[in-house]
Amino acid sequence: IFSEKFFEKEIKGFQLKKNIDDLWKYEKDFCELIWGSLGNSERFKKENNSEIFFISSLLVPPTRFRPVYISKIGKKKNQTKTNPQNFYFLKILKINQQLLMAIGSRKKEEGKKWSKIFYQYEKTIASMFDNSIYPSEKQSLLPSGIKQQLEKKFGIFRMYIMGKRVGHSARTIITPDPFLLSFEVGIPRNFALHLTSFPPINFLNFPKKKNKRENFQIESLFGKKFSLKPSEKFPNFFKLFKICKKYKKCFFQKNCKKYGINRMKTIISEKNFVLLNRQPSLHRASLMSHSVKIIPQNKCIKIHYSNCNSYNADFDGDEMNLHFPQNDLARSESLVLSSAFHHSKIPTQKSIVRGLIQDNIIGSVFLTRKDTFFSQNLLFQILCFLEKP
C-alpha cells in the first residue's frame, strides 16, 4: 500500500471543494468541532458549511478607493500608475470570458484548454491578495497585491498611519528605575502639567480639593502662569475673580441640565493610567498601560526593569511614546485590557515576557526551603502554571 516514491499532483479548486463538501456531509460533527464557532453562528446557518473556505464572489471597491498613485521605487520613480487592483479586476474579467467560451465550445482542442485557463484564473485571484504566493521570474513586473500594499516601508500603514503626530501625547528618552513598581511609570512634572483631558463635570468630580495657589492662578496665551494676590493696585480685579469662582461653582452644580454637558480641563495626577508604546511595535506587549508616578526632578520616562522584554528596551538612548486617554471608555480599556498586569505572557511565546531572572531565583529558593509545606490544592495550582517541556 505504501511506497517510498512520492509524486505531486495539482488539484483544482472545484475538485478540492467537492472533497471538502463530502467531508462536511459525512463528518459534519467532527468538522464543526474543528472549524466551527462557539455557539450558534448565523453564518453557518445561512451558508453551506464548506463555503467558508472558498471565494465565490469578489467585492469591487468604488473608484475613489482605487486612485492612481505615484511610484516611489525603481526606475519609474515619480511616475503615475494605475491602481494595482484595476489590473487584476480587468484580468479576472478577461479570463472569466475565456473560461466560459472554453467550457461551451464543442471542439476538443478548445475544450482541453479550460484546465489551463482555470489554473490561470485561480492564480490571478490569489495574486490579487498576495503576489508572492506564486514565485516566478516575472514577479517584479506584477502589480503589488493587497498584502504588499499594506506591509513594509512604502505600505499604507507606515506611509499614512504610523509616525503621525497625535494630540495629548509625549515622547522622550527612557531610563530604568528599580524603585518603581513593575506596573508604574515615572514621568516628569512638565509632562503632567501639559498633558490634559476634558472630562464632563458632575457632582462627583467637581468638589475636589485644590491648593490655594492653584485657585488664584491665570495662564497666559504663551503658557506662563501668573498668581493673583490682593494688592492696592488692582483691588476690584481680585474681587471680580472671587465672584466668578463662586458663580462658576453655582452654575455647574445647579444649571448643568439646562445648558448641556460642561467640561473641565484636568491634568495628569498620580495613579492615572497612561499608554506606553515603543516602536517598532513587534507584538501585543509593545503597547501597555501603566500607573503614573510623578517625579519632580526628572526629565525622562522611567520604567521598571521587568518591562525590558516587552518593549525590547536596552536603555541606550531609546525613546518611547506616552499617550493620555481622553474619555471613560479609553480609561476603562487601559485599566482592564491593556494593563501591564495582563501581559506577562503573550500567545506568540511560551515563556513569560514580563519578569526578571532574579524573580525566578528568589521564587525557587522559597519553594525549596526545608520548612515549606504545601496543601494539595496549592500544589496542583502551582503545577498548573509550570512550563510544559
Question: What pLDDT, on the 0 to 100 scale, is given for residue 166?
Answer: 80
Using pLDDT thresholds of 50, 70 and 90, give the confidence band for residue 276.
very high
- By three-state DSSP, how is residue 115 classified? helix
Average pLDDT value for the chain: 78
Alpha-carbon gap, residue 243 to 239, rounded angstroms: 6
- The ranges of the chain annotated as CATH 2.40.40.20 are 169-190+268-343
What would the 3-class secondary structure string for 128-178 be? HHCCCCCCCHHHHHCCCCHHHHHCCCCCHHHHHHCCCCCCCEEEEEEEECC
* For residues 75-86, average pLDDT: 76
Residue tagged 491602481 (cell numbers): 83
Which residues have C-beta within 8 Å of that of residue 322, sequence separation ≥ 6? 169, 170, 171, 185, 187, 191, 195, 274, 275, 276, 301
pLDDT over 70 for what percent of the chain? Answer: 71
Q: What is the DSSP letter of 269?
A: -
Question: What pLDDT, on the 0 to 100 scale, is given for residue 389?
Answer: 40
Which residues are bridge partners to 350 per DSSP? none
pLDDT at 89 over 50: yes
Give one DSSP letter per residue of 87-99, joined into a string.
HHHHHHHHHHHHH
Q: What is the pLDDT of residues 41-79, one digit of tens each?
A: 666 555 556 777 788 888 898 988 888 876 665 566 667
Q: What is the DSSP letter of 199?
A: P
pLDDT at 351 over 60: yes
pLDDT at 386 over 60: yes
* For residues 193-210, average pLDDT: 72
Most confident stretch, 103-117, 149-163, 209-223, 362-376: 362-376
Which residues have C-beta within 8 Å of that of residue 89, sequence separation ≥ 6? 58, 60
Strand 225-227 with 184-188, pairing? unpaired
Question: What pLDDT, on the 0 to 100 scale, is given for residue 274?
Answer: 93
Q: pTM value?
A: 0.55
| Longest Cα–Cα distance in the chain | 109
Question: What pLDDT, on the 0 to 100 scale, is given for residue 173?
Answer: 93
Topology adopted by domain 169-190+268-343 = Barwin-like endoglucanases (2.40.40)
Question: What pLDDT, on the 0 to 100 scale, is given for residue 1?
Answer: 44
pLDDT at 261 over 90: no
Alpha-carbon gap, residue 300 to 146, rounded angstroms: 40
